[in-house]
Structure 1
């Protein structure tokens, strides 16, 4: 075994692009990034509890190992790990800060003085959802614990300078290992809110977009082309895949009462023109990938 825990003899593909450390590669968004980046670049990906082929184990709370890995000569460190479920963060703010904020401090300390860039994947939940749309210049005002931890992590990164924050909205699609989005459609009934509006991004589009943007610094938004309610999104995915669930419209306190949610989160950028694919295009691609929740 080599120092990353990979089988001896493993070779990352040698290519013209950067050497990348991808934290959280076994997650839903991280897995989508891994699928795009690993065949094209020299990538070391990590997992915490969900083992996946070719990935190395890393607990974000192991600060010594995290710092050593980050400082091992990478050009880019893409941070897609942490505590993601909003309800889990709301239930345990201390854990949310430990997993979403503290690792950024460790990474910045490890990278200081090197030429490596840290790319932090952040969230539209840093906003309160009271505006029709949000650009990079709009003030943040998170209404839940998850959003506050992401804003705190952003502040650390931006104070350092030379790094990049990429804010993402709700992501939909099928992941290579984790399928947290389609898992929501695995039950006989799927409650979906009619009073939450978003501009969701299709998972396979994030890797190519990130590769076009990672030379930037500061804050960037990457949103989806279509603006829909959660109910409309889930209904259209259900119909496209002909899933055996009934999508049920709900509003307000009926759903997610344990966690405040911004009512309208539409990300747009004034710094680039990239948008995720139209929903019809994405659903056609998703349908071609296969049917079923695939809740691995």
Structure 2
């Protein structure tokens, strides 16, 4: 049986992964903030990214699969991932790295595919690229890079923030000229389960198969929540449509694991 360590398992995405995988694999996770319920769970370890060395945890657990859903200081994350990469080179193990569509945010004319060149104008995108480039130097069987667009879900931070702004009647910032795709945490966790089971290697783009303007998506979510006339603040950073979307071309998943924009809306509101 695979022994899986989820770094950042107490976060929104990490928790969805833990719930999906723990019944099928010997699964462990890390958390940062003091949590009495997790302290009693012998499969969870408290880990401070900025003050602790990850190699101690790796040697204690000896995972065959490491899933990185870490958040926090970028420099500390880079150091931790380079330590993990060194661990991979000396152990029969691989890293599933959760990356972002932002590694392509300097390209705006088209959606991006798995093996397109990465180039980012944002600090966040460049940070992800640095870790990706280090992984791409490893043998294929040592890593997966999973690039995600914006992630939603019933208890997602984005949906919670949106509900709060709707309740308070505050203006919601939207981007009418930005074309995106989206995903949902529980569905993403099932996709990861498939990738682990089938021992898939390489880079995956795990967003919805269709695209939508960001404003239209937020408007649909608001309507589904029961707010037909939300207050929007339109932000135009371009005269033309620009794309921030990741689509698959080389590494396709089965049809039952594909996802549509409407499914993301429904799953996020539990329609």
Length-normalised TM-score, structure 1: 0.76
How far the C-alpha of 1:105 sits from its partner, in A, is 0.5
Q: 2:133 aligns with which of 134, 141, 155?
A: 155
How far the C-alpha of 1:227 sits from its partner, in A, is 0.7
Aligned position for 2:244: 265
Aligned position for 1:235: 219
Q: 2:55 aligns with which of 67, 78, 90?
A: 67
Q: How far, CA to CA, are the matches of 1:38 and 1:21 in structure 2?
A: 10
The answer (yes or no) to whether the contact 1:68–1:110 under 8 Å persists in 2 is: no
Unaligned runs of 5+ in 2: none
Aligned position for 1:27: 11
Secondary structure of the residue aligned to 2:270 is: helix
How far the C-alpha of 1:243 sits from its partner, in A, is 5.5
How far the C-alpha of 1:141 sits from its partner, in A, is 0.8
The answer (yes or no) to whether the contact 1:231–1:247 under 8 Å persists in 2 is: no
Q: How far, CA to CA, are the matches of 1:268 and 1:284 in structure 2?
A: 21
Deviations 1:234-289 (A, max 9, x none): 111122122598241411369xxxxxxx9412211223323642222333333337
- Tell me whether 1:252 sits opposite 2:252 in the alignment: no
Aligned position for 2:183: 201
Length-normalised TM-score, structure 2: 0.83
- Taking a change above 3 Å as real, the CA distance of residues 247 and 129 of structure 1, as seen in their structure-2 partners, is farther
CA root-mean-square deviation: 2.4
Secondary structure of the residue aligned to 2:154 is: coil
| Number of residues of Structure 1 aligned to a counterpart in Structure 2 | 250
- Taking a change above 3 Å as real, the CA distance of residues 40 and 180 of structure 1, as seen in their structure-2 partners, is same
Secondary structure of the residue aligned to 2:232 is: strand
Aligned position for 2:151: 171
More helix by share: 2
The answer (yes or no) to whether the contact 2:184–2:267 under 8 Å persists in 1 is: no
- Tell me whether 1:191 sits opposite 2:180 in the alignment: no
- Tell me whether 1:96 sits opposite 2:74 in the alignment: yes
